[in-house]
Amino acid sequence: MIAVLTPLLYSLGPAALLLVMAVVFAESGLLVGFFLPGDSFLFIAGALVASHVISLPGWLLALGVFVAAVAGDQVGYMIGRRFGSRLFSRPESRVFSPANADRAQRFFDRHGSKAVVLARFVPVIRTFVPAVAGIGHMHRRRFTTYNLIGAALWSVGIVVAGILFGGISFVAAHIELITLGLAGLSVIPGALAYWHGRRSRADEMVCN
């Protein structure tokens, strides 16, 4: 997916911010967005800002990502509150994996409210934890507080890392090659999640 999205960052100019925000929102707020490359895509955007491929100030990129991340998590939370555990009882499909939902549930059970902050830094898990919090009827104000903290740490941290990385002269001179390498690395979390889901289903079939 990032191989498709990254070239758009080069061609959209300042409007690339809207694309980054849309990806962050979808990954955070829609249960079908777990396959989107949030971390790597945001990191690449920061690097492209530093190398002046995208004509935007870094603070504006970070602010846009923060807003999209907060809004996405709030939507995910409301979906969980509205539809409850029925969300995670759906059958396996190309856009929904019960195994990923179960992983998010265990993550939330293990970390409690802090999971809302911690999940922001864990691909796939961050897509489902807001809905898990909503299903568990975590107090809205408490969820919002942790949501704001997690979104701020994540958006500023990843954008700043990308900007610092992109500000290195060698990186700026080879930004296209490096973004291709990052694009390749970005598929690893999704592949691992897919493999884990396949293995879990195989284990269940053996047990049955």
Of 126, 167, 151, 163, nearest to 36 (Cα)? 126
- pLDDT for the residue numbered 152: 92
- pLDDT for the residue numbered 106: 81
The highest-confidence range among 84-88, 142-146, 179-183, by mean pLDDT, is 142-146
In angstroms, the CA 122 to CA 88 distance is 19
Residue written as tokens 């849309």?
Answer: 22
Assign 70 a pLDDT band (cuts: 50, 70, 90).
Answer: very high
Q: 0.85 exceeded by the pTM?
A: no
Assign 43 a pLDDT band (cuts: 50, 70, 90).
Answer: confident
- pLDDT for the residue numbered 67: 94
